[in-house]
Every structure is written in C-alpha cells, then in structure tokens.
Amino acid sequence: MTDASRDAILVRGARQNNLKNLDLDIPLNELVVVTGVSGSGKSSLVFDTLYAEGQRRYVETFSPYARQFLDRMDKPQVDAITGIPPAIAIDQTNPVRTSRSTVGTMTELNDHLKLLFARAATLFCQCCGKPVRRDTPESIYTDILSRARNAGDPRLLLCFPVPVPKSFKESEVRELLEKQGYTRFLAPDTAHDAAPARKRGRKPAAAPPIVLEVIQDRLRAGGAERGRVLESLEAALRVGRGRVNLHVADDSDPPRTLETWRYSSELHCADCDLAYQEPNPSLFSFNSPVGACETCRGFGRTIGIDYGLVIPDDSKSLRGGAIKPWQTKSYAECQQDLEKFARKRGIPLDTPWRELGAERRSWVLEGEGAWSKGVWYGVRRFFAWLETRAYRMHVRVLLSRYRAYTPCTACDGARLKTAALLWRLGSRELGDQTLGASSRFRPHGAQWSD
C-alpha cells in the first residue's frame, strides 16, 4: 500500500456506462465536487462506480445470512479501486425534504442509530451518573461478595422494601406480610436510611410514604452458602417487586444499620430511587413524540426574541437609544419608564450598553416585576406583553423584526428528551479520543461530572 492510497481513493480504468477508461485519485476527508455537462458521466462515476463499490465491499463484510437482507449492488466496470471506505449516498432523485430533515434522516442513518441505541446503549442515572442496570440474583450475589470482602464480611440483613399504600394502615400491611411468613422487620428508627431522600427535581410529597423494611434473611456473605443466598435474593425480589436492600448491621440488639446496599431488577437506580423508561427505538427518534424534546418538538431550535436584534448597537447608552424598539413614537412611553426607573436605581443613563456590566444589563432586560406592580418591568416582559397583542397586524410586523431561531434551551439542540439522552454507547476512552470532556454534550438536568 502506498502513502497516497491511504488518504485517497484510487480509481483505475473505470468503464461504467459511458466512462472512458478513467483513472483518477479522489482525496479522502475533503469535500470533492464532481461537475460536468449533462451526460458527461458524473452519476456513472459517483453513484454507479464509487458508491456501488463502497457499498458492495461493505455488504461483503456481513455473513451470508445477513447479506440476504441487504441490497446487493453489481460490481462496477472498473479495473481497480483502492482505499474506498463504506459509502452512503443521498440520492439526487426525489429528496423528500422537510424542515425536520437532517443528514441522518435523509441517509436513513437515523433509522439504524435508533435501533442500535435501543439495543446496545447503556443508561446512566441522571442523578449519580452511574450505569443503571437490571440486577439479577446472580449479579447481586457477585456484588455482595466483593463488597462484603472489602468491608470485613459484616453482618448483613437481606431486606426488601414494602411501601404502605395510602388506603392501608401500617399494622394492616404488617399483618398481611405476617400471613405470608414475614415476621421480622427492620425497626423504623434503624431503617432511617431505608427510603433514600428524593433528589432535586422531584416534587416533595406532602407526607413521606411509610416504607416497611421486611427482613428476608440474615447472613454473612463470606460464610453463607451460595444457593441459600440466591434463593433469598430471588424471594426478596419477587415479594419486594424488584427491590432488594442489604443492610450492613452492627452486633447490637436490635441491630443498627450502618450502611445500605441497594439493588433493583428494573431500570431503576436503587441509590437515587429514580425509575427509568424502557428503551425502544422511538425513544431515540426526534420524529416520534416518544423521543422528541417537548420544548422544541424535535426541531432542536425554538423561535424567540433575539436580544442581539433588540440591542443591535452596544456602543449606545440607555438614553442614547440602546433599546431599539423603544425609539419609535408608539413605544416612547417605555423609553420614559426605563429612564425614570434607571434614575431611581442609580443605573447610569449615558454609559454605553457594553460597559454597563452584566448585573445592570440583566436589570434592564429582566426588570423587577410585573408592570401592574408599578415597578420596572424589563424588556423581556415588554415582548411577552406584545405577544398577547399579536392579533394586531402592526404588532406582528414589529415582533417579526426581533424574532430569530435560537438553539432549544431544553435539549441544547439535541432534539431529544432527556430520558433518551441519558443512554450512551461506547466507552469513555473512546469519547475522550473523539472530543474533549469539556466540549462534549451533556443532557440538561444530568448532574454528571466529567
């Protein structure tokens, strides 16, 4: 292999359709445009030769079984092609283009990616950033063994949580459990850690629900027989509806919980007590209401007021007309209000906008409260008020002058819901090789570290 072949596609003796024994080198990693008059063989070269060969070789890498489901392409009329990567083609015919089209949708790459993510991606907890996996009795047992070894094989209480439903009394639930043979419970004061505190982003319940910690088994992992532990875990998962808590207990009587190891057989972060949605391909499609960001409806951007257009010249002062829409007769009243309240608050009227400082600029834009309260209402409320009067033609015209598309603030332009963006493929090492941690995308609401 020569050096040239490593960064170029070498075509030798192409004779597809009307090509006349063409030799050429096409550089890789560059945008190459093929032009020519009608009938000169552009499509024969690009689609029937390059794309056909790239696709053909890619398909060859699959098993014969998989190949039968893929479009086969005929070998193009060419002596040799080297250095060709797998190819995708965006057809020149009938491009169904909508405002939602992307390279991903037009090449149908998105259709493959959403399947790949639904099958192969790993979910990371929004709160603690740890992978969320379904625990099985086997995986829990393995984990308990290694944790117990590190903790000096402590005394363990194998428990499962049973929330007391609103319409029941705690004693009634205890009675029901006792009928099933569950007579031992972790005393409520020692189970202080039983219900993990709901983290930020959840509405606090009026009264925290009562959760009984039912003791399934008591053991030391090092000495306990494997079969017995698995049996206990299975039973606890069954009655505890997929939840198992192992309480590390001290030797006092009744035992006090020193630490709790939580497990869940569902898509649920046991540590944060956050449940997650099952993945399906629609979750990873911004053209599906299941996956599309609710704020921008999958467009990745929203239409809003562009403050760069509202204050187009930052060398102007407030008195000098920095706020452009208020320089007309119709809204002169707003300009007077601004100057009146600015004087009250000691905001300089003759300082250029760019020298006002972030805090004062924010005061101008955000204001102090509603107009009806007789305080400074701010530029943003002015536009919100205009929106309510958009039934009038001249207001619509005015608004359109200051509107622009801005990246959606809910998804940062990713077009998908946070629930979808918490799923990731590949390793962190791979990610680091592609893009530095600081410039990588992080879903909103995820409290992850780098």
Establish if 122 lies at the interface with Zn ion (CB under 5 A): no
Contact partners, residue 145, CB within 8 Å, separation at least 6 = 221, 222
Write the binding mask 78 to 117 for Zn ion: x where contact by CB under 5 A, - elsewhere: ----------------------------------------
DSSP letter, residue 416: B
Establish if 418 lies at the interface with Zn ion (CB under 5 A): no
Residue 295 or 335: the one with the smaller Cβ distance to Zn ion is: 295
CA distance 247 to 269: 17
CA distance 155 to 153: 7
Establish if 419 lies at the interface with Zn ion (CB under 5 A): no
Establish if 408 lies at the interface with Zn ion (CB under 5 A): yes
Residue 148 or 293: the one with the smaller Cβ distance to Zn ion is: 293
Q: Is 420 exposed, middle or buried (0-12, 13-18, 19+ CB in 10 A)?
A: buried
Establish if 293 lies at the interface with Zn ion (CB under 5 A): yes
Minimal distance in Å, beta carbon 139 to Zn ion? 17
Residue 162 or 296: the one with the smaller Cβ distance to Zn ion is: 296
Q: Is 16 exposed, middle or buried (0-12, 13-18, 19+ CB in 10 A)?
A: buried
Identify whether the C-beta of residue 266 lies closer than 8 Å to the C-beta of residue 381: no
Identify whether the C-beta of residue 310 lies closer than 8 Å to the C-beta of residue 323: yes
Residue 125 or 421: the one with the smaller Cβ distance to Zn ion is: 125
Residue 89 or 197: the one with the smaller Cβ distance to Zn ion is: 197
Establish if 239 lies at the interface with Zn ion (CB under 5 A): no
Establish if 411 lies at the interface with Zn ion (CB under 5 A): yes
Establish if 446 lies at the interface with Zn ion (CB under 5 A): no
Establish if 140 lies at the interface with Zn ion (CB under 5 A): no
Establish if 269 lies at the interface with Zn ion (CB under 5 A): yes
Establish if 270 lies at the interface with Zn ion (CB under 5 A): no
Question: How many angstroms separate the Cα of 115 from the Cα of each of 63, 83, 201?
Answer: 19, 29, 30
Establish if 19 lies at the interface with Zn ion (CB under 5 A): no
Residue 385 or 448: the one with the smaller Cβ distance to Zn ion is: 448
What residues from 339 to 358 belong to the interface with Zn ion (CB under 5 A)? none
Starting at the edge strand found earlier in the chain, the sheet holding 211-219 runs 211-219, 155-163, 243-249, 257-264
For residue 92, give both structure tokens. 């020149």
Chain position carrying tokens 């359709």: 17
Binding residues for Zn ion, rule: CB under 5 A, are 125, 127-128, 269, 271-272, 293, 295-296, 408, 410-411
